[in-house]
């Protein structure tokens, strides 16, 4: 792995000669290196180089006579998360000292912004920061919590949650890069999703200056996603429904995002590309500007910059979303959300969704059969517990549940995390490992990020049981766990993201593993870890794979999705003229 190039003497010479543009560019080059190259550790020589860079950066950055050239204000306001993790990898640990130093100086605003993140004990009101400069203050606000891989400490968790309550009234988006904050609010403060997403959607909508020319064909449907690759959770949840549509409608995949070569193009009459402009101020929609879509279905919204932008543009007369990312978009352009009667609470439809909730029989999504043959579990004196939580699902309250189990169990309990490739995305892997070692003790946990799918399933099979995440739980990970024979302890909440696991447990007869809060989760998991007979009883219910397939893979469910689409196309005008109440089909 090639380390960055940085000469402290050259940087100091530029600073002494007041060539602030050159030294600023040197800093940017290094931080952008850490945006592209992710580290899990350093050789002694590389660590020394990192230490020299951080020391030089913090020294120059905190000098009262250092004036950040205005052309660098934007980029530095937008990379605080990188700066925070680079400093966290060094012996300095955090930017608190440097931040305190700068706050005592005059003309400190644009040097303060990149140093102030969720890691800092020093905190300043977001309202104050945005009032000074709405554009750069908004960039800072959007990036404030991005550094952290989940919320691993009480302090970081509290700051992340507080951010969603502290929405400055003068926010002003410079561009449309809202995905991290838009996406993560449902994981850390779901009760604030409506407020946060409404503000961001309105800001995006105000910037959209284009429109589409639509001549609808009743048989034409657009599938809009940047996650239509077989390896993604979106695809695994929604592909059977979309494939069922293809037997009746002409489907166009409106594709964007990464890994284009892996996109599943089957079942589509055509595949077109929409790309974000280089300055992120909008999307090039030339491929869909003139279209014949009667309906646009978004399997997911919020996992790409493009999906959030497109969800605020009327690209078809009927706009629908679903369980690829199972939360409301709160977009004024999105008409319907297709959900499952078996998992949703219809009485909370208007609270959980801004779209009209359309309920179909079953769960409203349908899994891809894992097609996994069990290898057999190896007996162990230790109890290993699966925590199949993506990075954003790892939070301090759930970690406290795990530590309670660890401390009270009569035999050693250890935890296996599967946070996916997103762990380390902003070079926070070293911080993650260090923090969890302090939390659980070295050797009492491990993680895997890049296992091939069946290797991941084989690894999961060796655990005693699984604990679902909360408040944003799993669906595909629960399917996986049940298929490999691992019972799941799940906290049941009030919307699909924390009710899918309990619905699946009811299907397989493990209702007693459904709990209602964190304390009950710890107690139930402790019971499984402490009582071998109870654990074996739960596992025996999952022993028959054929029976599991019958319980979890109801072949008729994708057909209900098609019926819902049929109904919406046939009745859209009447529905739009009626109150937005929950609709049940089938």
Domain locations along the chain: 8-206, 212-366+558-584, 383-552
Give the β-pairing of 283-284 and 250-255: unpaired
Q: What is the mean pLDDT of residues 391-406?
A: 97
pLDDT at position 145, please?
A: 93
Ramachandran bin of 95, using left for φ above 0, alpha for ψ from -120 to 50, beta for the remaining angles: alpha
Q: Are 320 and 295 in contact (CB under 8 A)?
A: yes
Cα separation, 431 vs 86, whole angstroms: 10
Q: What is the pLDDT of residues 212-225, one digit of tens each?
A: 999 999 999 999 99
Please check the confidence at residue 1 and state whether its pLDDT lies above 70. Answer: no
CA gyration radius, the chain: 25
Q: Are 490 and 473 in contact (CB under 8 A)?
A: yes
Q: What is the mean pLDDT of residues 96-119?
A: 95
| CATH number for the segment(s) 212-366+558-584 | 3.40.50.11380
Q: What is the pLDDT of residues 436-487, one digit of tens each?
A: 999 999 999 999 998 999 999 999 999 999 999 999 999 999 999 999 999 9
Q: What is the mean pLDDT of residues 195-199?
A: 97
pLDDT band at residue 422 under the 50/70/90 scheme:
confident
Please check the confidence at residue 513 and state whether its pLDDT lies above 80. Answer: yes
Of the candidates 234, 178, 221, the one whose C-alpha atom is nearest the C-alpha of residue 203 is 178
Write down the pTM of the prediction: 0.95
Q: What are phi and psi of 220, to 5 degrees?
A: -105, 125
383-552 CATH, one of 3.10.450.50, 3.40.50.2000, 3.40.30.10, 3.40.50.620: 3.40.50.2000
Tell me the β-bridge partners of 465: 385
pLDDT at position 326, please?
A: 96
Q: What is the mean pLDDT of residues 111-127?
A: 96
Share of the chain above pLDDT 70, in %: 100
Other Cβ atoms closer than 10 A to 206: 11
Cα separation, 490 vs 498, whole angstroms: 8
Cα separation, 468 vs 448, whole angstroms: 17
Cα separation, 326 vs 316, whole angstroms: 21
Give the β-pairing of 290-298 and 213-225: parallel
Q: What is the mean pLDDT of residues 356-384?
A: 92
Please check the confidence at residue 159 and state whether its pLDDT lies above 80. Answer: yes
The single residue listed with the structure tokens 């399933």 is 457
Q: Are 274 and 313 in contact (CB under 8 A)?
A: no
Cα separation, 360 vs 336, whole angstroms: 13
Q: What is the mean pLDDT of residues 371-378?
A: 90
Give the β-pairing of 275-276 and 283-284: antiparallel
Q: 3-state DSSP call for residue 67?
A: coil
- Report the chain's mean pLDDT, rounded to a whole number: 95
Eight-class DSSP state of 174: S
pLDDT at position 2, please?
A: 73
Intrachain domains 212-366+558-584 and 383-552 with the same fold: yes
pLDDT band at residue 381 under the 50/70/90 scheme:
confident
Share of the chain above pLDDT 90, in %: 92
The rounded Cα 198 to chain-centroid distance in angstroms is 18
The rounded Cα 48 to chain-centroid distance in angstroms is 34
């Amino acid at each position: 792995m090639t380390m960055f190039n940085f000469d402290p003497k050259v940087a100091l010479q530029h600073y002494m000669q007041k060539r602030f543009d050159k030294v600023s560019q040197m800093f940017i080059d290094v931080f952008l290196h850490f945006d592209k190259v992710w580290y899990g550790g350093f050789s002694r020589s590389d660590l020394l180089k990192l230490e020299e860079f951080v020391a030089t950066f913090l020294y120059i950055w905190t000098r009262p006579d250092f004036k950040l050239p205005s052309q660098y204000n934007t980029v530095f306001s937008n990379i605080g998360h990188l700066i925070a993790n680079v400093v966290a990898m060094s012996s300095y640990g955090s930017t608190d000292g440097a931040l305190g130093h700068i706050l005592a100086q005059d003309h400190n605003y644009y040097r303060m912004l990149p140093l102030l993140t969720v890691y800092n004990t020093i905190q300043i009101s977001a309202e104050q920061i945005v009032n000074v400069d709405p554009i750069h203050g908004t960039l800072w606000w959007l990036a404030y919590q991005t550094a952290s891989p989940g919320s691993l400490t009480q302090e970081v968790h509290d700051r992340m949650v507080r951010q969603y309550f502290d929405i400055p009234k003068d926010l002003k988006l410079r561009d449309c890069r809202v995905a991290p904050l838009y996406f993560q609010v449902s994981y850390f403060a779901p009760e604030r999703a409506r407020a946060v997403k409404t503000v961001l959607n309105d800001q995006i909508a105000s910037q959209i200056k284009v429109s589409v020319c639509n001549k609808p064909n009743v048989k034409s449907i657009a599938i809009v996603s940047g996650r239509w690759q077989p390896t993604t959770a979106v695809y695994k949840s929604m592909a059977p429904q979309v494939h069922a549509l293809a037997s009746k409608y002409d489907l166009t995949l409106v594709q964007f995002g990464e890994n284009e070569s892996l996109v599943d193009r089957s079942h589509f009459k055509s595949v077109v590309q929409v790309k974000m402009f280089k300055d992120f101020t909008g999307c090039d929609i030339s491929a869909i500007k003139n279209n014949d879509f009667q309906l646009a279905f978004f399997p997911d919204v919020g996992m790409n910059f493009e999906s959030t932008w497109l969800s605020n543009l009327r690209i078809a007369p009927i706009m629908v979303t679903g369980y690829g990312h199972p939360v409301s978009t709160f977009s004024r352009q999105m008409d319907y959300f297709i959900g499952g009667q078996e998992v949703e609470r219809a009485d909370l439809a208007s609270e959980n969704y801004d779209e009209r909730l359309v309920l179909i029989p079953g769960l409203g999504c349908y899994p891809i059969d894992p097609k996994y043959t069990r290898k057999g579990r190896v007996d162990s004196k230790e109890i290993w517990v699966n925590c199949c939580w993506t990075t954003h699902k790892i939070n301090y309250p759930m970690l406290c549940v795990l530590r309670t189990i660890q401390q009270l169990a009569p035999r050693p309990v250890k935890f296996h995390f599967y946070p996916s490739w997103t762990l380390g995305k902003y070079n926070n892997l070293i911080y993650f490992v260090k923090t969890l070692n302090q939390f659980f003790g070295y050797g009492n946990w491990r993680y895997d990020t890049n296992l091939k799918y069946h290797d991941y399933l084989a690894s999961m099979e060796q655990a005693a049981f699984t604990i679902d995440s909360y408040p944003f739980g799993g669906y595909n990970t629960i399917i996986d766990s049940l298929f490999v024979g691992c019972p799941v302890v799940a906290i049941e909440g009030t919307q699909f993201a924390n009710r899918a696991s309990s619905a699946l447990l009811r299907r397989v007869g493990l209702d007693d593993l459904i709990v209602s809060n964190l304390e009950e989760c710890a107690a139930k998991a402790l019971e499984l870890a402490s009582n071998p007979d109870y654990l074996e009883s739960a596992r025996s219910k999952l022993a028959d794979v054929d029976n599991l397939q019958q319980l979890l893979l109801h072949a008729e469910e994708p057909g209900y999705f098609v019926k819902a689409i049929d109904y919406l196309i046939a009745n859209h005008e009447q529905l739009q003229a009626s109150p937005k109440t929950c609709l049940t089909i089938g």
